[in-house]
Structures are given as C-alpha cells and as structure tokens.
Structure 1
Amino acid sequence: MEKLRPKKLGHLVLMVRDIHKSARFYTEVVGLTVSDWIGDQMVFLRAGQDHHDLALSQIPAGSPGMNDLPHYGRPGVEHFSYLVEDRAEIDRTVEVLKAHGVEIVRGIGKHGPGENLFLVFKDPDGNNVEVYCEMTQIPPGSEYEAKVWERNIDSFDQYRFKHFVVPPPQAVVDAKSGKS
C-alpha cells in the first residue's frame, strides 16, 4: 500500500493559557521572531526562513475541555506537521489516507498567515498531524513586517472550504456565518 512522502518535520502549534506571556517567552527568552498574529488568539513565530515553525493558540476562556476543532481547552500540542513537495502531493496524500482508513480532520485549505496549503488528519492516538506545502519564506534581512490578521475565514482558509475533502469544523462555519 502507498505511503506518505514527508520531506521534513515542519511546524508545531501549541495551545497556551496566556498567549501574550507565551509570546514574550518565545521571543525574549528563546529568541524567535514574530511573523504574524491572528487577533490576540494566535501568534506565528520563526527561528529560520519558514514563516513559522511554532505557532501559539490561546485556549478559549472558560473552556470545558476539548471542544470543536481547531481549538482545545487544555495546554499542549494542537498539531505538528510535515512538509510535502507540493499541492499534487497533498492531493495524493488524501488518497493514501483514505486507502489506510485514516480520519481526515480538515483541509485541503490555504491558511492566511504563512500562505501554506494544509491537510490535517489523526494518528492512532488521536493526535492531529498536518501535511503542508508552499509556506511563505522570510530570508534574513527581508523587509517582511508582521501583520495582525482578523480572526475570520480568510485567516483560516483563503479557499473558503472549496477544496475541503471533509466538512469544515463547526466552530469555523459558525464564525463564518456570524453565529456565536
């Protein structure tokens, strides 16, 4: 049976209790650079040229535990990722995952911050694993300036679910339609 073809371990997204405190830690202590924010809910950080190799996501206030993806109500890993060659490889990945009976969680989409294509699926322990490609590169000396994206559908998926191979997360659909 076919296998996925990852090129390297990519970025990690962590759920955090206090995004501003964590952002200060990762910039002032660890030495990462802010690439972008989504409101005050997510921050994308880099050590090298990839737009992000670490992203932090604020745990929603009053979270009772796990709620609808892509947010969890506890600190820890939301997902980790592997770089793949291109969009054709992500399309092939969908078929490989289906052939193996692997649950696909979200995607194929295109994030706003980082501009990367994504597909997220579950491993046997329920961890979210993402394959991605085409991430924005920020070379040393670049005049790239961090921006603050609104927390909306365009920051989550610029394709607006047109290429999703599974139904989108309900929380994102509700946000798109203006529901609370």
Structure 2
Amino acid sequence: MITLQTDTPLALHHLHVTSEDPQRLGSFYTNLFDLKVVPHNGNQIALAGGSRAIVVHYGKSGEFAAAAYAARDEAALATLKAKLGDLAETTTPADEIFFRQGAIRIRDPQGRCLIIGVPNKQRSPDELPARLQHTVFQTTQLEAVLDFYVNKLGFVISDEVVDTEGRVTTCFLRSDDEHHSLAFFRGSQDVWDHHCYETSSWNDIRDWGDRFARARYSIFFGPGRHGPGNNLFFMITDPDGNRVELSCDLQRVDAAHPPGVWPHEEYTLNSWGRGWIRT
C-alpha cells in the first residue's frame, strides 16, 4: 500500500497560530525556545531557530491556523501534489515564509489547514535539543477526519485507543517512520489540543523542566510515559494557554507494522501515574 511513509514522507516543520497578543506569545518562544525573528513581507511574527519554528498571526488566542509539513525534496512534493489533485490549494506568501515557492495547502473536512512544502533552509543543531515533532487535535467527527487523513492524504495509523464499547477514542497517525506526527482525540469540541517537541534524551527532559521552572512555568501533566509511542513526556502551557509537550524516545515504526490497540484508561495515557483524559 502506498502511503506517505513509504512514498513521500513528511515531517512536521513549523506551526501557524493566532494570538490576541502576538508580541507576548512571540517573546515566550523567543526566550524559552531560543527562536529569533525572521524578516519577511507580512504583518505576522515569524520565529525560527535550529529545529523549531512558529508563525504567530493576530487573532483569537489559543487557536490553530495551520500545521506545516516538510517534504524531503521538490520531486517528492510534485509526486504528492499530483496524487492529491484538487485537494491541493494554492498557497499565499505567508504560507511560504519557511518554504520554497510551490508549497501546497490542504484543508480537512473540519477546516484545519496543512501546508506542505520544501524547506528553504537547512536546519541547524540546537543548544538544548527539542525538535518540533507532532501536533494533536480534539474533534467531534473522528471517523470523518480519520478517513480524510488516512485514505485521502496517506497518513498511517500507528495506534488506536478504544473504549469498552469498541469505539475509537484516540488515533495516532504517522507520516514517516516516527510513531506519530499527528493525532486526534474524540472530544466534545473541535479544538487544538497540544503540540510537541522531541528531545534527544531523558537528561534533556530534565534540563527543559529546569528551564521552565526558572521562568516560573509549572508542569501541569507529567512527567510520565505514554503507552502509544512509549515516549517520556511532560506538558506546560504557554502565555495563551496553548499546551506544549516536551518528549523523548518516541517509538519508530516500520511501514509494515499493524496498528496497535490500547484500552481507554489512565495507564494508556500515562503508565507512570495520573492520565489526562479528554472529554
């Protein structure tokens, strides 16, 4: 079966978010994540550094504007664009701040946007590793959303969480060899849930925890270990209330590996202790 993982791998490259106070939110990512302002033509704030980047637009705080995924090269992007056909929309200059010309934009059935392109600059090592790795959403239409991402875009299901009635409550999707770059929770609202940065070791998790502590940002979930993905993690919130996860040791998954099935319980979300179960 042809999928993103086997044919045209994608990795999460940067995010577009909205804020009622873009300067305050930008300062958080500048100061805590070592990002710097990237000059460009536009009124949004573009920040980048090492293996992470974010674009902040003026708007309602806590909302998601787009997730930008990087193709490995222009040939892979052309192959994907041909496969997607009419699903591939024309991008705007704001979509291409970190990508070469020719990027594409995709909208899912609920209006979420993905920008797919080829990075215009090679990434450099970070002094304190934390590579932007995945983003997660809550949705009221899980089946329709999964049908779109799996059967139309080519994401692959790595793991599903299933309740006692046999209903899928969470699904983790991969676009390359990492366990997931995207995930969806069944919820009572359609909202952005969190985004995650992958570090290189447990010691990095320690160092990030100390860094946030010195800036008086407290952990609200974790530290712990997720079942699906088997990664160590903790979460904080940024000044707009966006949830930010720091992770390490995320599982890598072979293309032929069948989806795993996990029970909907606290142990699945955090095998070390209390889980944060969405409603």
- TM-score of Structure 1 vs Structure 2, range by shorter chain: 0.7 to 0.9
Out of 147, 151, 174, which is 1:24 matched to?
147
Question: Secondary structure at 1:28's aligned position in 2?
Answer: helix
Counterpart in the other structure of 1:176: none
- Between 41-50 and 14-23, the greater mean CA deviation after superposition: 14-23
Larger radius of gyration: 2
Question: CA 1:87/1:96 → structure 2, altered by over 3 Å: closer, same or farther?
Answer: same
Question: Secondary structure at 2:273's aligned position in 1?
Answer: coil
CA distance in 2, matches of 1:154, 1:22: 26
1:8 matched to 2:121: no
Counterpart in the other structure of 1:177: none
CA distance in 2, matches of 1:145, 1:95: 38
1:85-104 deviation per Cα after TM superposition (whole angstroms, max 9, x unaligned): 11111112111111101132
Overall identity of the aligned pairs, in %: 26
1:50 matched to 2:178: yes
Question: CA 1:97/1:7 → structure 2, altered by over 3 Å: closer, same or farther?
Answer: closer
**Structure 1 residue 3: Cα displacement:** 5.1
1:77-120 deviation per Cα after TM superposition (whole angstroms, max 9, x unaligned): 10001111111111121111111011322111100000011111
Counterpart in the other structure of 2:111: none
- After superposition, residues 101-180 of structure 1 pair within 5 angstroms as 101-140=216-255, 143-161=256-274, 169=276
Out of 33, 40, 52, which is 2:156 matched to?
33
Counterpart in the other structure of 1:77: 192
Question: Secondary structure at 2:220's aligned position in 1?
Answer: strand
1:89 matched to 2:208: no
For the aligned residues, what is the CA RMSD? 1.9
Aligned length: 149
Query: 5+ unaligned residues in a row in structure 2: which ranges?
Result: 1-30, 34-127, 163-167
The one-letter amino acid of 2:139's match is V
The one-letter amino acid of 1:33's match is V
Question: Secondary structure at 1:92's aligned position in 2?
Answer: helix
Conserved in 1, the CA contact under 8 Å of 2:135 and 2:196? Answer: yes
CA distance in 2, matches of 1:138, 1:20: 23
Conserved in 1, the CA contact under 8 Å of 2:130 and 2:246? Answer: no
Counterpart in the other structure of 1:98: 213
Question: Secondary structure at 1:88's aligned position in 2?
Answer: helix
CA distance in 2, matches of 1:25, 1:119: 30
CA distance in 1, matches of 2:242, 2:271: 25
CA distance in 1, matches of 2:191, 2:129: 23
Question: Secondary structure at 1:158's aligned position in 2?
Answer: coil
CA distance in 2, matches of 1:3, 1:127: 14
CA distance in 2, matches of 1:119, 1:134: 13
Query: 5+ unaligned residues in a row in structure 1: which ranges?
Result: 61-73, 162-167, 173-180
Counterpart in the other structure of 1:71: none
Highest RCO, 1 vs 2 (Cα 8 Å, sep ≥ 6): 1
Question: Secondary structure at 1:109's aligned position in 2?
Answer: strand
**Structure 1 residue 147: Cα displacement:** 1.8
Question: Secondary structure at 2:185's aligned position in 1?
Answer: strand
Question: Secondary structure at 1:80's aligned position in 2?
Answer: strand
Question: Secondary structure at 2:221's aligned position in 1?
Answer: strand
